[in-house]
Chain A
């Protein structure tokens, strides 16, 4: 900076020449210099003050905001088990009316801290008396092992057992609080619920984790701390489930079947109201997976979801629907049913000879293999695949149980013209009872695809359109006629008109090649009420035999149909359906055509 001299020579000389006091000039300049200095100082001080003020302001704003935030947040109570390192919290599972299907129960586990034990050998003997499966000598050995400090004795104790352990009076025996998963209804809906066990274990808590079924599928939802107090509401109805289980169990026993399954589904929402697979198990005490024998015979096997079977004639409903949809036939078109229908080395036969020709309606009602094959023949493989894919038969049918993703339908290696014909009457393509239920729901709900679900829905969940409204109406009538005139006559029950289609499929030989003799998978897929279907019910019996007649009868009409009819008779009033006369259904169906 250029410093201005206090006594600039030029001005001084000029002032002297004019007779003025040159000191005034110096004073003047000194004053100016001081003023400039003062201004600089002031501006610097102001900047500093401003900075400090800003700093304070920031501090106060932060404090104020924090206080405001604290005051504004809703007071929240700490949920139980959440602030612990291992969270044992798990939401309840309830049925559609809020009845408890799975809940948590506080209980205790038992462990030993050997360094605190006073008389380990006596304690081991006393424990062996309380728990018969504990070997006193081995337990004493473990208690006295100097390398062990901590031993789990028991994962859970009943209150009585806990009292007895208390009475031993051994200070080294400690109780660990535990949450236990309880299924109060026992075997009811075992395959849907699956089961639970302990995950990570600590002294203060243990994780409860799902191992199968919805418990595993909804693992994250059930353990989400924010949703722990909100039970998971399933679409199942406990009362209906109990009735279906009771009837199905009785039917399975009476018909000497190896297994049975029933799926009851809402045709508009896709809600599974009841899903039973027999034999079943107790989820409170889930058995270990089988190590030998056929896995499909294990009680753990969910036949309705995992069991992909060739279901036989029930699939004819889809072949006929495609014929109607493509416009190649109408219900009255006459089809040549002279047999056997020969294709290369393969012959297609009917159960009985139905004469030279049948109308499309009668092909369905009387269940003619030849007739169905002839309807399908001109349509071809590509269109058939597309049609079945739209129904979801070519992929695994999703459902909210962990097992659903593991099973896949069995498709033909090469979709030949012969495959087209065999698949038309249900052989060569495997389908699960659940997928079949979803397919029938589409046939009768106006033609929309529905996705089966186990979670309660509030409104219809209709997917894309698969078949036309008109085809759906024609199918409703045909299904009803099958019950009224055809193979499913046992399904006629008072008050609730039923429509349905039977299927008796020979079981494939497990060692490969051909089909077993005298081993039938009997299926009845039904919808009720027939004139405005609300529910679809699929009942499948594994190797049933009706021995009440002079010779054993194995077809679905004698096995699956009576069981299904009894289920409908019991369940329809529980679902709140009003009984109607047969003539009401007939009139409604005739008007719809």
Chain B
């Protein structure tokens, strides 16, 4: 009984050692991956900040104003003033849509005997 216990313990120690060895390597691998990812993130963040700066630079008010002036013929943009505001009352109501009319619909109005084929006296 006791030897069986010893055997089990020894086996457990071996198994745990193997597991720890594997975990160690997995951890190192994960850390390497993390470093690579960090480098990539840093590079992308930098690229992003350059793009943002570029975007801000291209959208600087001076340049936009020049572009508006250059393209005035096409765009006809002028600074917004009070006269560009409207009243709600100035907005046109949508025209009522024309009533739908069926072309090949079945006639459902009329005397009921037509529908039956025979002439019956309909008593109201």
Contact = CB atoms under 8 A, between A and B. Distances in A.
B85 A100 contact: no
Contacts of B59: 99
Interface in B19-48: 38, 41-42, 45-46
Contact of A80 (B42, B79, B85): B42
A105 B61 CA distance: 20
Interface in B74-102: 79-85
A103 B83 contact: no
B57 A573 contact: no
A414 interface: no
B2 interface: no
B49 interface: yes
Contacts of B57: 182, 184
Contacts of B80: 573-574
Interface stretch (A25-33, A239-247, A252-260): A239-247
B53 A182 contact: yes
Contact of A242 (B42, B61, B84, B85): B61
B62 interface: yes
Contacts of B55: 100
A77 B38 contact: yes
A496 interface: yes
A105 B79 contact: no
A574 B85 CA distance: 12
Contact of B60 (A184, A246, A570, A573): A184
Contacts of A494: 82-83
Could you say which interface size class chain B belongs to?
Answer: 20 to 34
Contact of B85 (A184, A246, A493, A578): A578
A579 B56 contact: no
B49 A243 contact: no
Interface residues of A, number: 32
Nearest to A106: B46
Interface in A216-254: 238-239, 241-243, 246
B61 A103 contact: no
Nearest to B57: A184
A572 B83 CA distance: 12
Given A184-B53, A185-B61, A495 B82 contact: yes
Contacts of B53: 100, 103, 105, 182, 184
A246 B65 contact: yes
A78 interface: yes
Interface in A169-188: 182, 184-186, 188
Interface string A557-579: 00000000000011011100011
Contacts of A182: 53, 57
A99 B53 CA distance: 10
A302 B57 CA distance: 24
Nearest to B42: A80
Contact of B46 (A80, A99, A246): A80
A390 interface: no
Contacts of A184: 53, 56-57, 60
Contacts of A579: 82, 85
Contacts of A78: 38
Given A495-B82, A569-B81, A573-B82, A186 B62 contact: yes
A182 B55 CA distance: 12
A144 interface: no
A496 B41 contact: no
Main SS class of interface, B: helix
A489 interface: no
Given A80-B42, A186-B62, A573 B84 contact: yes
A100 B61 contact: no
B9 to A, nearest CB: 18
A201 interface: no
A197 interface: no
Contacts of A572: 82
Main SS class of interface, A: mixed
A528 to B, nearest CB: 11
A226 B53 CA distance: 22
B61 A239 contact: yes
Nearest to A78: B38
A103 B82 contact: no
A104 interface: yes
Contacts of A77: 38, 41
Contacts of A100: 52-53, 55-56
A106 B49 contact: yes
Given A99-B56, A106-B46, A182-B53, A238 B81 contact: no
Among A78, A100, A104, residue most surrounded by chain B Cβ atoms (within 10 Å): A100
A359 B75 CA distance: 53
B62 A243 contact: no
Interface string B59-72: 11110010000000
A570 B41 contact: no
A80 B45 contact: yes
A106 B50 CA distance: 8
A494 B38 CA distance: 58
Interface in A464-507: 493-496
Nearest to A494: B82
A153 B48 CA distance: 29
A239 B113 CA distance: 77
Nearest to A578: B85
B65 A569 contact: no
B19 to A, nearest CB: 16
Given A78-B38, A80-B42, A106-B46, A185 B56 contact: yes
A26 to B, nearest CB: 41
A238 B62 CA distance: 11
A396 B41 CA distance: 46
B61 A188 contact: yes
B49 A238 contact: no
A103 B42 CA distance: 16
A493 B83 CA distance: 11
Nearest to A239: B61
The 8 closest A-B pairs by CB, nearest first: A495-B82, A242-B61, A579-B82, A184-B56, A100-B56, A184-B57, A573-B80, A185-B60
Given A105-B50, A184-B57, A494-B82, 4 more contacts: A103-B53, A569-B82, A570-B79, A573-B85
Interface of B: 38, 41-42, 45-46, 49-50, 52-53, 55-57, 59-62, 65, 79-85
Interface of A: 77-78, 80, 92, 99-100, 103-106, 182, 184-186, 188, 238-239, 241-243, 246, 493-496, 569-570, 572-574, 578-579
